[in-house]
Structure 1
Amino acid sequence: MKTRKIIKGLRPMSAIVMGCDHMGEAISINQALSELELYASCGGNVLDTARSYALIDGVSISEKTVGEFLRSSGCRHEMIVMTKGGRDIEPFSDYLKKAREDYLSSCDQLGTVPDVWFLHRDCPSLPVAEIIQYCTSFLQGSLLGLSNWSPSRFTEAMAQGSPAISEIQFSLAPSTPQLHGDSTLVCMDQENRRFYKASQIPVLAYSSQAKGYFSKLIAGTDLSAKAKQRFDNPISQERVSRVQFLGRQLDVPPAAIVTSYIASQKDFPAFPIVAGSSLAQLEESLQGGDVELSSSQIAYLESSASNLGD
């Protein structure tokens, strides 16, 4: 799998990031460990989890599973471990205190200090400087990332000299926070594209596979209710045939085209976060880490249609 040296202080990052939100919840721990082993064997080295993922009785089963994999495989020194905290922004008076508690809990669940710790949500009720200064005061060697922050707030954070990376929703099937039913999310649009092109802040793209939107439609499989609600729109529908055509041309599955679309972005560094309900699904998505789409191929996938909500 391709790697890129993007962030100072981190080893080169693999083109595709392993999403761990479903581990211990949607899939069993044993299957999760098998997926992590497959990912590592394909050259993947970035794991993305969160304090709130598969949270049961105060324990993040996702983080615990990642920690177990790191210990059992002995590959901690080869992996870039990323996790998130500070998801609950109400009441805002407790936001910073809870964020610190989340960080310490994550270190305990993972059994290691994460390489990157993200604020899972922004808290617009608080000044950016106050948030950044407080968070950098308790990080034990972790780099700070910001998830679901608007360009304007991220720009303010950059003035503090801290955030190294961003995480927002980004896929070939455009969506909006409204379609997700969550106003605290940030989805890629033209404003965000301009910001990331200018700033060159690396972007981790969650829901990069759009819940299997393209793979399922090409295979003639029904979409889930969430996939329909969030990603089924005229722009996405128009792109299905292009994904299919390009996949045949390059002799890779549709899932590989979808992930390589993110990983091949030319204007700013971007990394798709992927997951799978089976090893076969995951393997198809990981193939995108070996595909480099040209600017013309990316333009072909996007066509002349603008992003939803612009």
Structure 2
Amino acid sequence: MRTDQPVVELHSGAVPLAPTTRETAAIVGHFPPPRRAIGGSGLRVHPLGMSGKHFGSSVSPAVSVEILDAYASLGGNLVDTADSYADGESERIIGDWIGRRGLRDEFVVATKVGKSRAHPGLSAPAIAAAVDASLRRLATDRIDLLYLHLDDPEVPFEETLLAVDELIRAGKVRAFGMSDHTGHRLLEARVACGLLGVAPISALQNEYSLVRRDGYEGDLARITAQQGLAVMPRFPLAGGFLTGAYRSRADLPGSPDPGYLARLLGRRGRRVLGALDRVSAAHDAAVATIALAWLLTKPGVVAPVVSARSADELFDLMSGPDIRLTRHQLAELDRASD
């Protein structure tokens, strides 16, 4: 047994503790990959964004800070949240962290409006009030990337887009994107932007992963490519399924979303995990690392937004952009997930 690793005394003797994210990075070295452009917004980000979805709810404020510190130490600069996450607490945690660390000018802050209890929907008054509330919680004077968190068919796109444009002109928002919109509605919004002469859409955030491809690939991918939008996938690890931690129903108790994961445990899901196992073994990398590397090869994908429940998960996740998959490996993963 190596004696240069930290150890803990157990009944069976001394065993090495797993190194933390920072210790691993210090041992093997980590050089952040080049940053990528978000459409024509002028924003440039690390190829993996950090989601604040669980901050303040299933992830405590203290652990959230540890995750953000580890993310920043590995070169990350994009944090993604929403006014509805933990009823605004996620934004407060992120705003406090950025302010205490003095990183506001180094970080791209993305948030979403439309689903909060206080300001639901995408009417002009709701958007204006929601953005002002988010700015207060984030303790900042601008939101770098504002997403419309839902498709609100009860409000004309013209009203929504004019409201967003006014916020951009006022300097409260730098760029905006859509979330969970169909290809048809995305095209409709793009046409409306052109007719109104307002700020264009820069990004799209929809669910997209190795096991959830249908909602994006096809018409939505084609329209996104035509418009030159940055694709910022959410749930890139399918709620943890693509970490390899959930391989049978026996693994589901205690998982964050057992219903979602149970739907992935069929023949196709097992086939995908089998392919990931083979490719990860070839690269001596974690399953999650390979799943993210696959996603980053897809046209238009700029920065998948990942969730973490501890800082020590970060090294594997942030290694995704460093992996170079061969054509054979990409084809194997594509076939397994068809």
| TM bucket, shorter chain | 0.7 to 0.9
* Pair 1:93–1:52, CA change in 2 (3 A): closer
How do 1:75-224 and structure 2 match up within 5 A?
75-87=103-115, 95-112=123-140, 113-139=142-168, 140-159=172-191, 160-161=193-194, 162-174=200-212, 187-214=215-242, 215-217=244-246, 222-223=251-252, 224=255
Contact 1:218–1:244, Cα closer than 8 Å, also in 2? no
1:183 maps to what in 2?
A: none
Provide the C-alpha distance between the structure 1 equivalents of 2:71 and 2:125, rounded to a whole number of angstroms.
35
2:267 to 234, 244, 252: 234
> 2:325 matched to 1:255?
no
> 2:42 matched to 1:16?
no
SS at match of 1:172: coil
Contact 2:122–2:155, Cα closer than 8 Å, also in 1? no
1:125 CA displacement: 2.7
Q: Structure 1 runs of 4+ off > 4 angstroms?
A: 91-94, 218-221
1:111 CA displacement: 0.9
SS at match of 2:79: strand
1:71 to 94, 99, 105: 99
1:184 maps to what in 2?
A: none
1:219 CA displacement: 10
Provide the C-alpha distance between the structure 2 equivalents of 1:94 and 1:198, rounded to a whole number of angstroms.
25
Q: How many pairs are equivalent?
A: 290
1:235 CA displacement: 2.7
Deviations 1:69-117 (A, max 9, x none): 111111111111000001269x998743222211111111001111011
Deviations 1:96-144 (A, max 9, x none): 3222211111111001111011110011233323321222123424211
1:296 CA displacement: 4.2
* Pair 1:229–1:99, CA change in 2 (3 A): farther
Identity of aligned residues (%): 23
Provide the C-alpha distance between the structure 2 equivalents of 1:108 and 1:230, rounded to a whole number of angstroms.
39
Contact 2:56–2:89, Cα closer than 8 Å, also in 1? yes
> 2:80 matched to 1:48?
yes
Contact 1:209–1:258, Cα closer than 8 Å, also in 2? yes
Q: CA RMSD in A?
A: 2.5
SS at match of 2:245: helix
2:317 maps to what in 1?
A: 285
Larger-Rg structure: 2
1:270 CA displacement: 3.5
* Pair 1:82–1:62, CA change in 2 (3 A): same
Provide the C-alpha distance between the structure 2 equivalents of 1:243 and 1:189, rounded to a whole number of angstroms.
20
Higher mean alpha-carbon deviation, 253-262 vs 154-163, is at: 154-163
2:90 maps to what in 1?
A: 62
Structure 1: give runs of 5+ residues left out of the alignment.
177-186
SS at match of 1:84: strand
1:212 CA displacement: 1.3
SS at match of 1:51: coil
1:238 CA displacement: 1.4
SS at match of 1:303: helix
1:286 CA displacement: 1.7
Deviations 1:40-77 (A, max 9, x none): 1111111000000011xxxx110011101111111111
Structure 2: give runs of 5+ residues left out of the alignment.
1-31, 195-199
Contact 1:118–1:147, Cα closer than 8 Å, also in 2? yes
Provide the C-alpha distance between the structure 1 equivalents of 2:260 and 2:330, rounded to a whole number of angstroms.
23
2:63 maps to what in 1?
A: 31
Q: Which amino acid aligns with 2:205?
A: E
* Pair 1:253–1:74, CA change in 2 (3 A): same
Return the TM-score normalized by structure 1.
Answer: 0.85
